[in-house]
Structure 1
């Protein structure tokens, strides 16, 4: 399940090259992989771009085709795929072993912990051999018969990709609204089902985001439409059950294309909130859920560098805000006094050492997820802000967050817990007894004992003195602290997104083959608070890249890895990280996995027609400003490719990617192939059926992981 988010995630969801001789990278040649001279060579077509009196030539710009139908472009991608398949042919047996190994650890018939909501127990079921969940409910009791709300396996039939983005049951429990994506572009179609008759209403609400909210009249549905070109969610519509979508009413339109639009229902069920957010600004409008045709009212107008998110209970709005509070604070305002910030009353003060990440309201208390020194704590407070209870943990490195708690009258709190050695677990904490009860822990089938593995958290000093947290895990019996283990270092470091250490069934396949796995919690995340994020964005973005390099060097120096068998991995903005570090320090890595990498930073951020561009100026900067243009250009992986040796690289993308367009990694590989001076592997693997998230489905997703792991395992000399 996804973490619920506070103001820190409102932005949504996103160098100077060092020369290196070929001879110095001899140790990183792909000695165990057959060489071939048949790599595709992309044609060059001059494409000049000029701004700020500076001209760039992008000879591979022709690979961009927004229709995704150009025969020459498709032929090139298919040629790259064929080349990749040929070069990885010798790993096919290993891929099959890994896929079978990973999927065999899954509980074939699995079910989520039932959640009580308005008289029904809701849960989801995996059936053996099927890729998608079946959503069911039971009325009143867990002994009642299961009623199938939606079988995603049936809905996915006939589609290469399927994603159920959201599902909402109407207040009277008779209708189900679902948002489905069958293209992998995050453009959803919303359908409405009559649960009793198991039939769908004829209307289809298209080009929508996954957001769905019911009004309290059980016939009015709110949803958000996206711009079909930029995919920016910007229009809130009101739909009446049983009517044509052409009759839907536009409730609100956001005309500032740096803002994202989303909707949600407050904890009290009294209001429907329209959330408007950019990276550093936000605003909330409110609709009366009992009178959905009334015009929205503004909770508090947007202002520069003010992020907030509001919820409502017991006649008060509780607001998680960064107003004069870098790490956040909690305030409240009576529902009769919205719009006036002078009426705000502080409930939980700002603390320089504590990042408030999440807020959940109950009738008699509220809960927060707070991060202190990089570690998460779940705290229960009264409505005067006093700390009443705290749920604490003993692992050095872990992930914990509030779970689905739909009933505000409950005295019990559900939460998730996981560590790099502890499978995902659901607990229930009783505020009366102050005890946690384990409701479910994911089973790992086969031979698995958590005590066989060691998880730890260390600090590595960066070049400017900053202490970078690193989470590590390895199999005890296969680890030798004398620089003999292969190691995979993972990083992201953007948008304030923090990759807390958690359990991975697939990762066991690396650990059981002697790998050390490390997560570098570099600047650009919020591992050490909001300042940690601020120090890794815009004009401080270079810190993210140098942190990752310094962590790698530090781990090698502390003999966690064989320096000849160090690998790196990152996806999306983490793919940008990979692109930057291989330009800056290619000699450190034997192989790199770059997934859906955001590598053509300058060109993309200058093009407002590309999804996510305008909404992310506060993350990367606006290159129409020369200061930001020059800074971006200094690290943009595509622009900084140089004539030097590069590590072995597997670059993956999806033709239908809506977040990082397929042509960014395609152009990057074409340029690398033309300029690199080594004979190491450079592979581009484009999935022609999917988008940013890769394959859908419980089992199919492991195919990609098996391929990527087989690539680095083969480089490390492991073929079993």
Structure 2
């Protein structure tokens, strides 16, 4: 072991509700301080030194990942108007190249493009590698074309802070127009291509204002179309698939409100309210034309915990509601997509995503069947109001990403593309199943597992396990394929996902039982899953590594305090481990918005006490043997600030945790480094650390 950096203690006292907390590492928040940068660089140097012995393994893992990927490849083309749009990658290039080719009239079957074979009539719209030239970080945000396909809009972020600069190109001449809009959150073109609709953020990083910019005019002339003053609500905007309405939506974690503007009228006209906001009521809508009448299909949770779908007249959305899909406890309606002749409904039942067709005339649902016991499926890549095909994305733990199209006439599911996995991969070599742990309150918690069959089924002998968790915002960790994960599975590791409360896997109630004053259920559920895997002989504490990122990083910090002896190692990505400090400060990015998820400790002493009881930073304690810990963060992360893991690691070292590492990307954001090769190297670094903890670094 090399000597770890020891952060100086500089006392800062925080007092709320009569409780004082001395925070000696709060000084690390000053991102512009040379002392802070020097400390982070020292942490990186220490991590480099402590992991230097893993360099050969990291290179091996990187080459394994790279060797399984078809580096020169193309996406399945998507038809929009008279063009097929697609992206492609080239061997050795970090970023995708976005292209299009002309479509023949009435030809809805996507052309079969072969990797490395030139596409006839290809037009390169945007080369991400050219855009990223000379930049340490590159993220493509918006990407849109006008309805007549003559104007291109795109936006870029070179810092990782998710503030994008919009640019526009005339596709008939190839000229990039002088219009340039910095500091945007989202952006898209007006259908006629003469204007840009974009959102900006307030000082707390909250998207709060929608603007209209007319091409060729000065930014000072941009028109503010809508502003949301309530600091608990964020703003978004888009255009219906029918191209009839501009939709402006505002929402908090528990309440939403939406407005309509006719696209064939004056965009600066007063937006028309769909439903007024009601505390605790969430809704969204889709526009459809049924029997010649404009209808809005509204998905909502008013007196319907798992949501119901109703239809209202677009001319009078607050008028009579006709129930289309009634609320059914345990069947969580997730979303609807309206097309000219039908709609699709996505919902979750028995822990799995489902997709069904909705008949406008009968309100009947026709579920699209899939064969695997664990899978993820959803509607994606369908921009057109009419198409004879419905495109679907599909994957599982053993099935690579797959694009299907449902022939709407024959109901045949047509395979358009499956991601190639090189090196002789066969899904038959791997198994997947669902197990169930029992939480301390008797709740059954699902665990998904995937493993390589040649090592035997889970429970046949004690095996190394990599257990992943999240458990917040009703976000579900659904079955999905990972090329990088194969490097673990092929070394005998079982990968598992703990579907803990706070996520959405088992419906809205599952989420409600893992938020606010029930948040500890998220942490105890994860510990119960670990204990189940240990007690059933699947693994042992010495062979168990946990991983979570963002709010899942909070989970990692909490379980490190709750059950340190149950894990050999914990990998925390961009971890929300100083939760109470952050949620107490409304000046920080997104804090006020987060009160619906965590509670408001600034004004509510009960919430303050409850959060203080589990926030990882405050609950690090001496006399505990902590597992090995690796925290990974990014200096420019605007969602979970780098200071949280920096303080957490400093505190862990203070109480004697002997093997704690911090890796801070100095030019990156919440999603980590940019570029696919850089991302593979980053994951190889993390996997090498995991395998080292599991005693498999020599394999």
TM over 0.5: yes
Which residue of the other structure, out of 110, 132, 137, is the alignment partner of 2:100? Answer: 137
Deviations 1:654-702 (A, max 9, x none): 00001000000000000110013x53x1000001010110011121101
What's the secondary structure of 1:700's corresponding residue? helix
Q: Per-residue displacement from partner, 1:306-336 (whole Å, max 9, x unpaired)?
A: 1011121211111111111111111121121
- Note the C-alpha offset of 1:394: 2.2
The answer to whether structure 1 residue 684 and structure 2 residue 662 are counterparts is yes
Structure 1 counterpart of 2:606, from 627, 638, 644: 627
Partner residue, 2:564: 586
After superposition, what is the alpha-carbon deviation per residue over 1:245-278, rounded to whole angstroms, capped at 9, x for unaligned? 1211111111111111111101211111111010
8 Å Cα contact 2:586-2:592 kept in structure 1:
yes
Alignment pair present for 1:359 and 2:339: no
Matched, 1:293 2:268: yes
Partner of 1:256: 230
Over 3 Å counting, the alpha-carbon distance change for 1:261 and 1:672 in structure 2 is: same
How far apart in 2 are the matches of 1:388 and 1:208? 39
- 8 Å Cα contact 1:213/1:265 also seen in 2: no
State TM-score, norm by structure 2. Answer: 0.95
Pairing partner for 2:138 from 162, 185, 205: 162
Alignment of 1:286-685 (within 5 A): 286-291=260-265, 292-314=267-289, 315-338=294-317, 340=318, 342-384=319-361, 386-479=363-456, 481-624=459-602, 625-643=604-622, 644-676=624-656, 678-679=657-658, 681-685=659-663
The answer on 1:58 being equivalent to 2:23 is yes
| Cα deviation, residue 385, structure 1 | 5.6
Residues 1:190 and 2:166 aligned together: yes
Is contact 1:380–1:389 with CA below 8 Å preserved after alignment? yes
Partner of 2:595, secondary structure, is helix
Tell me how far apart the structure 2 counterparts of residues 431 and 218 of structure 1 sit (CA, whole Å): 32
Does the aligned pair in 2 maintain the 1:379–1:387 contact within 8 Å? no
Deviations, residues 174-225 of structure 1 (Å, cap 9, x unaligned): 001112111100001111111122221112111111x223323321221101
User: What CA distance in whole angstroms lies between the structure 2 residues aligned with 1:652 and 1:295?
Assistant: 46
Give the match's secondary structure for 2:38.
helix
> Could you tell me how far 1:562 is from its partner in structure 2?
3.4
C-alpha deviation, 1:144, in angstroms: 4.9
Secondary structure in 2 matching 1:400: strand
Partner of 1:46: 11
2: distance between equivalents of 1:559 and 1:83? 36
Q: Which has the higher contact order (CA 8 A, sep 6+)?
A: 1
Question: Among 243, 247, 268, which residue is 1:273 paired with?
Answer: 247
C-alpha distance after superposition, 1:626-679 (max 9, x if no partner)? 111111001000011100110001100000001000000000000110013x53
Distance 1:167 1:389 in 2: 33
78-87 vs 427-436, greater mean Cα deviation: 427-436
Provide the alpha-carbon RMSD of the alignment.
1.3
- Paired residues of 1:355 and 1:530 also in contact (CA < 8 A): yes
CA distance in 2, matches of 1:307, 1:128: 45
Helix, strand or coil for the counterpart of 2:618? coil
**Runs of 4 or more above 3 Å deviation:** 141-144
Q: Please, which moves more after superposition, 407-416 or 371-380?
A: 407-416
For the 8 Å contact 2:143–2:188, the answer to whether it is kept is: no
**Structure 2 unaligned blocks of 5 or more:** 105-110, 112-118
Secondary structure of residue in 1 paired with 2:668: coil
Contact 1:654–1:694 under 8 Å retained in 2: yes
Cα separation, 2, equivalents of 1:135 and 1:391? 31
SS at match of 2:542: coil
- In the alignment, which of 240, 245, 268 is matched to residue 219 of structure 2? 245
Give the structure 2 partner of residue 21 of structure 1.
none
Tell me how far apart the structure 1 counterparts of residues 464 and 172 of structure 2 sit (CA, whole Å). Answer: 56
1:139-196 Cα shifts (integer Å, max 9, x gaps): 1244751111111110011111111112110122100111211110000111111112
Q: CA deviation at 1:622?
A: 0.4
Question: 3-state SS of the aligned residue for 1:202?
Answer: strand
Alignment counterpart, residue 71 of structure 1, candidates 22, 34, 45? 34
Q: Tell me, what secondary structure is at the counterpart of 2:40?
A: helix
Deviations 1:62-114, CA, capped at 9 Å, x for gaps: 0011xx32110000000110000000000001001101110111112111001
What count of residue pairs does the alignment treat as equivalent? 677
* Cα distance in structure 2, aligned partners of 1:384 and 1:523: 38
Alpha-carbon distance in structure 1 between the residues aligned to 2:172 and 2:62: 40
Secondary structure of 2:495's counterpart equals strand
Instruction: Map residues 17-36 of structure 1 onto 2, 5 A cutoff.
Output: 35-36=1-2
Query: 1:15-50: CA deviations, max 9, x gaps?
Result: xxxxxxxxxxxxxxxxxxxx23x1100000110011
CA deviation digits over 1:280-316, x for unaligned, max 9? 0001122221222322221111111110111212111
1:20 aligned residue: none
- In 1, the alpha carbon distance for the partners of 2:365 and 2:526 equals 39
Residue of structure 2 in register with 1:108 after alignment: 71
Cα deviation for residue 398 of structure 1 reads 1.1
Q: Secondary structure at the match of 2:65?
A: helix
**Larger mean Cα displacement after TM superposition, 488-497 or 463-472:** 463-472
Structure-2 separation of matches of 1:245 and 1:483? 66
Offset at residue 431 of structure 1 (A): 2.3
The equivalent of 1:704 in structure 2 is: 682
| Cα distance, 1:647–1:330 mapped onto 2, change above 3 Å | same
- The partner residue of 1:93 within 50, 56, 61 is 56
- Partner of 1:117 in structure 2? 80
* 8 A Cα contact 1:602 1:623, kept in partner: yes
> Equivalents in 1 of 2:73, 2:592: separation in Å?
42
